[in-house]
Structure 1
Amino acid sequence: MLTTFLSEIQGEKKKRFIYLIIGLVCFVIFLQIDYLKPYLLSFLPMAALLTVISLIIRSYNLYPSENANKLTNLFFILSLVSNLLVFSFVQREKFIYFWDFSAYWNSTILFSDLYFNNFTQAVKQVYISILNDDYNVVPILPIMFIFKLSGGSYESFVLSILNLYILPFIILFTLFMIKAFNIGSHKGHIFLLMGICFFPALLSPLLSGYLDSIGLLFIGLLLVILYNKKQEELSLKDILLLSFLLIALALSRRWYSYWVVGFFSAIFIAEVLKLLFIKTYLFKNFIRTISKFFYVGIFCVLILAVFFNGFLVRTISNNYSYAYSAYKLGGVMEIFEGLIRYHGFFYFILILIGFVFGVTNHKFRYISTVLGIQAVVVFILFTRVQSFAIHHYYLFTATFLFFFCLGCYFIVNLLKQSTIKSILAVIILGLVYLNFSNAFISSSNSGKLLGKASIIYGNYKLYPRVRDDIPQLTDLTRYLNELTVNTSKRVYVLSSSGILNDDIIRKLEMPEKLDALPSMFVTHHVDKRDGFPEEIFESEYLVVADPIQYHLRPEDQQVIGIISSSLLNQDIFGKNYKVLKEFSLSNQVKAKVFQRQTELNAETKGYVKDLFKQQYANDPLFFK
């Protein structure tokens, strides 16, 4: 039977099938070796992701036939150089990674250890995490193999993200734009690739420790399908593939659900506009297209409702706008201004030019209309809840890159002579590089070179982070450990800035030790999200920063502010504590260790809670 089956398979397909069978057999054999088994199992998610990308590239003929080998070499050089540059950047840091800077690194260490030691339990943990956690472990799955193989350091973590999420997206997007613009010359390939690589918004979250760039891959794949297929002619395979990618995007990070909602909204509005303004587009065509995407939506909802009901209910019913209100900094116009300033006026002008060119050009009109509408919908929905942090801008990265490339393509092709075109392309690329260097290279002279013109660049700058008070923080942590070791005494940190907070102390010795002070409670940083910390009353030692340290508006962190003030001023609550020792940190901040001198009675505890009852009288969950 196998011989008959193989005889029906021709040429390359036959070779690939044989290689696949040999590979599976070897995999099963090596799986029996105890030492190799966890590595092989961790290899599967990575292999699955890369296989999906490669199949879509092949299915939609994205790889150009012209100069293909040169392009492959170019991608190899890109991978090598980018790995060296990112490794060099992280190596120059002398920093304690805390909060979001370390949260994903910490989760990756914990989950990969579980995956390697108890595969069955790890699979269960993935499912439980999807159902219950805003920041689940899904993005960790594909990077585990490289992360574990390379030692589990912060450098390993960042490079794993670079090689499995950022670089594949850059390659996929470059191939997508090469096909869209029909670029055959190797010189054109180089200009396009460098223009995409030097987009700072791609790397900023990566260098800050975020792994949310997994969503860029799914978005890139969705754009490939959207551009290369007529919407009314979507096959069952296309519908299933779109549904899978949209579900994977939403599950990878909860806030990517805004992109999914924006996608369906934009498709519907774009189809209505086609019906209204294109005479040859008939109502039956409209119904056929809408029905295709209706099937996609229904399939997504059914899969989520049946298999991920907890995720679906939580996403729809949770009051995120209240829980994350502390992270909404300013009004809509201020947030929009922040979006522009983050990317820079230089990019935004080219993005705007690209959008105008896209919607007026027949070839790019539909996808430009969809992406433009979707960006507006995403912005409106997201800003109802909170402001954008740097990783949230990934919601716009693929869209902005698309319009940026369109803008550059339009400007360069306004000219007739190829030599002048090349000169203009070099000038644009030079400005792009100056923006990139201004964002990541502290010794960059781009600002000096352009003088006042440097304001056109993005305002987000990330240089290797170095703090000079790590010895003092080490002494503080050692002192608190000495006070609490082999006792039931607990510590609570009343400070919430990048200079001092509980997570800085906790992550002081990563990756060797994930918790440098086991006796320390988790601090409640955001009042409306975290509520009142009863742990303060249970703690023998309170660590307070002087001056009081916030990372948000003081009115959103009143627990930190009011109780710290009480201790520093020794009022009714504070007089129950005395200072044991203080440590000098950066920016003339002192960390003061207070010890409780007397047991807190009900009256004192009531006094502290009364300080917050007026502010949070309408929040029944604040004291729970």
Structure 2
Amino acid sequence: MDLLERLAERESRKRHTAASESDRKRLGAFLTVVVVFAVVFTAGMIYVSKSNTIYFWDDSTYWDMGRAVADGDLKGDFLRKVYDSIGTDDYNYLAALPSAAWMTLFGQSRVSYVAGLLIMYVLPFFVLVYSLAKKLSKAPRFAFAASVFMIPATAFLAFSGFVDVGGLLIIAACYNLYYTRDGTANEIWRYIVIGILLVLLMVFRKYFAFFSVSFLTAMAMDCILFKRKWRNLIAAGASAAILLCTVFMPFLTGILLKNYVALYEGYSYSVGTDMRLITRYFGMILPLLLFIVPFASAARRQEYRPIFAWIQMLVCALMFMATQTHGQQHLTMYIPSLTVLVLFLTNVISKQWMLIAVCLLACVNSVNTYIPREQPGNIQDIDHMALIPDFSMLPKHREDTEAVLALKRDLDRAVPEGKHCGVLSSSFLLNDSILRNVEPSIRAGITRDPDYIVGLPEVDSRDSGRLEELYTADYILVASPAQTHLAAGEQTIVDEAVASFENGTDIAESFAEVAGFARELDGFTVRLYERVDDVGLYQRSLFEPRLFY
């Protein structure tokens, strides 16, 4: 009996020790994720609260929409309006709903908005990355931390207000479902869920369709090269196709099947421009280092899964560049695969110097973004390929915020209630989005709801069917010389309309300048015109032949 009691006591101690070890590991994992996220969150709050800039276009689109929804813009048949926007709008309300809910609870300031992106999207993404690290890396805590600090663009895109970081969460879920070697690895439900997630991803932001196609392509290559089961790919593809062709048919026909090559012709630059943008945010050293990972993993561990991540990125990049040039938000299509490759990278570390090199690269990539340097004003101003990320995570400061604020408030007084004012300026210095967002951006009080300020047709390849908006505007704010943001010849609508107002000819004959409003603003003149007569067919016939040359 004593012997049995001793054996039972020994087994009890073993179980207690194993349970204690498991608890310590869980606590260590929890603290790792919390500490890393706390660092990122603190950096984000400093960035936003100390910035003095004006958010516009992609930086502000979903902030604007979230505030509008929080203010009740979708009251009455809420779900129908959200669903309809999925099939008609490039920026649909679905992606705005989480931010709207957050801002309803915690306020509509830019600080609150970015805090919401970090907590709702980046934190869960980190949790899923750690889950992946446990599956893929021998040292999950180190691998997780290295992946975050080697790729500071993940945090920066959230700091910049891109709701697109929500896509990282969906992609990380797909990788967690696909990268598994337990007894459920070939269960069909995994791949059905992957297909559903890939559709939800592209509905969330339409350009993620490139990621979804590239992910399925990488799955196909896995079947060809490494004998993965074809039924898994078929299940993922079929579930995606069924969901698209039933629930999201309006999205398929109204958004996905557009001719984006023609639509974004004005936004298509050289491949060199893409490469300069990509290396600006990821550097050259990291991708080159990660290019070695599939070969090292195959040679040392017979591990071939890193090839999947590279196929996804290469296919995605080639398809996207055939359509348009990358913007910074589009880099979210590559961050998850780069993260996965960093996790695999930690497995091929076999020497102390390798460990030191990885730690050093993580530090350099993050710290370099805090070194003050002059930043390019737009993608065309990026003049070199960077070895390490050289974008800036220092708070942004714009010098003319007070002048723009004064312009907005003068417009408030000059344009009568019930009238709308179109903005004939499409540059990074002045556009309709800047005027609508100047007050909330710099935390100034809103003196008048800016919904009377509207955009006019700007880009030839996209807006050629919107000329009526130019002809029927009650007031037009004109910046001279013409303010554009694309290459010469891509915005003739703006160029020629400004020329008409400068010369007082054709369509401008129906407008009269508002006396006493003109002012200089950062090297150009701004004038306000009131429409005093209809723009006739003859005036239009003189104006329109000058467009789209």
When the two structures are superposed, what TM-score results if normalisation uses the length of structure 1? 0.75
User: Aligned pair 1:342/2:255, yes or no?
Assistant: no
* Among 334, 344, 355, the residue aligned to 1:396: 334
> Which residue, out of 480, 498, 521, partners 2:411?
480
- Aligned residue pairs: how many? 514
Aligned to 1:560: 494
Tell me how far 1:523 sits from its aligned partner. 1.9
Q: Alpha-carbon deviation of 1:577?
A: 4.5
Q: What residue is the counterpart of 1:148 in the other structure?
A: 104
Q: Is the 8 A contact 2:439 2:446 kept in 1?
A: yes
Q: Secondary structure at the match of 2:483?
A: coil
In the alignment, which residue of structure 2 is the partner of 1:364? 303
Distance 2:278 2:117 in 1: 24
Q: Deviations over 1:262-281 (max 9, x none)?
A: 12222112221235xxxxxx
Q: Is the 8 A contact 1:546 1:591 kept in 2?
A: yes
Contact kept in structure 1, 2:279 and 2:385, CA below 8 Å? no
Q: What one-letter code is carried by the residue in structure 1 that aligns with 2:160?
A: S
CA separation of 1:602 and 1:552: change in aligned 2, threshold 3 A: same
**What's the offset of the Cα at 1:78?**
2.6
8 Å Cα contact 2:211/2:333 also seen in 1: yes
Measured in 1, the distance between the counterparts of 2:388 and 2:488 equals 31
The yes-or-no answer on 1:502 pairing with 2:442 is no
Q: 1:416-447 CA deviation, whole Å, 9 max, x = no partner? A: xxxx35xx534532332232232245389xxx
Q: Which digits, 9 at most, give the CA deviation of each residue in 1:458-486, with x for residues without a partner?
A: 24335322223222222222222222224
Task: Identify which of 543, 546, 549 aligns with 1:611.
Answer: 546
Task: Say which SS state the counterpart of residue 519 (structure 2) adopts.
Answer: strand
Asked if residue 202 in structure 1 is aligned to residue 141 in structure 2, the reply is no
Change (3 A) 1:519 1:362: same
Deviation for aligned residue 1:579: 6.6
Is the aligned partner of 1:314 residue 2:283? no
Alpha-carbon distance, 1:558 to partner: 0.9
- For 1:314 and 1:515, the matched residues in 2 are separated by 35
Match in the other structure for 2:478: 544
On the 8 A contact 1:258/1:378 being kept in 2, the answer is: yes
Q: Deviations over 1:296-323 (max 9, x none)?
A: 2112211221211111223442111111
State how far apart, in whole Å, the 2-side matches of 1:70 and 1:500 are. Answer: 50
Does residue 228 in structure 1 map to residue 180 in structure 2?
A: yes
Instruction: Go from structure 1 to structure 2 and tell me whether the alpha carbon gap of 1:232 and 1:66 turns closer, same or farther (over 3 Å shift).
Output: closer
Cα offset for 1:144? 4.2
Q: Does structure 1 conserve the Cα–Cα contact (< 8 Å) formed by 2:423 and 2:478? A: yes
Cα gap change, 1:298/1:110 in structure 2, threshold over 3 Å: closer, same or farther? same
Which protein, 1 or 2, shows the higher relative CO under an 8 Å CA cutoff with sep ≥ 6? 2
1:420-435 → structure 2 map (5 Å cutoff): 420=352, 424-435=354-365
**Aligned-partner residue type, residue 603 of structure 1:** Y
Match of 2:63 in 1: 105
Q: Which amino acid aligns with 2:254?
A: R
Aligned-pair distance for 1:543?
1.9
Name the counterpart of 1:527.
Answer: 460
Q: 1:137 aligns with which of 81, 87, 93?
A: 93
| Structure 2 counterparts to residues 88-127 of structure 1, below 5 A | 88-114=46-72, 118=75, 121-127=77-83
Q: Kindly report which structure 2 residues correspond to 1:155-554, keeping only aligned pairs within 5 A, or say none.
A: 155-183=111-139, 189-190=141-142, 192-229=144-181, 234-274=186-226, 289-330=229-270, 332=271, 334-360=273-299, 362-365=301-304, 367-410=305-348, 412-413=349-350, 415=351, 420=352, 424-440=354-370, 442=372, 455-486=386-417, 489-510=419-440, 513=446, 516-531=449-464, 532-554=466-488
Q: Relative to structure 1, is the Cα distance of residues 434 and 213 closer, same or farther in structure 2, using a 3 angstrom cutoff?
A: same
Q: Relative to 1, partners in 2 of residues 1:294 and 1:507: Cα closer, same or farther, differing over 3 Å?
A: same
Q: Give the distance between the partners of 2:256 and 2:103, measured in 1 at CA.
A: 34
Whether the 8 Å CA contact 2:482–2:498 is kept in 1: the answer is yes
Answer yes or no: is the 8 Å Cα contact 1:544–1:594 preserved in 2.
yes
Q: When the two structures are superposed, what TM-score results if normalisation uses the length of structure 2? A: 0.85
Question: Against the structure 1 CA distance between its residues 196 and 339, is the aligned structure 2 distance closer, same or farther, given a 3 Å change threshold?
Answer: same
Distance 1:344 1:408, change over 3 A: farther
Alignment partners' CA distance in 2, 1:377 and 1:401: 17
SS at 2:422's partner residue? strand
Residue deviations 1:342-369, cap 9 Å, x none? 311121222212233245455530x222
CA change 1:483–1:163 in 2 (3 A) is same
Q: Does 1:76 align with 2:34?
A: yes
Pair 111,408 (structure 1): closer, same or farther in 2 beyond 3 Å = same
Question: 1: distance between equivalents of 2:453 and 2:98?
Answer: 33
Residues 590/359 of structure 1: CA separation in 2 closer, same or farther (3 Å cut):
farther
CA contact (8 A) 2:114 2:158 kept: yes
Q: Gaps (5+ residues) in structure 2?
A: 1-20, 375-383
Q: Give the secondary structure class of the aligned counterpart of 2:518.
A: strand
Report SS of the residue matched to 1:554. coil
Q: Distance in 2 between matches of 1:379 and 1:514?
A: 45
What is the CA deviation profile of residues 180-213 of structure 1, one whole-angstrom value per residue up to 9, with x for unaligned ones? 1222xxxx72464144245122023212211111
Do the aligned residues in 2 keep the contact of 1:492 with 1:542 (CA within 8 Å)? yes
Unpaired runs of at least 5, structure 1: 1-62, 276-285, 445-452, 616-624
- The root-mean-square deviation of aligned C-alpha atoms, in Å, is 3.0
* Aligned with 2:84 (options 125, 128, 131): 128
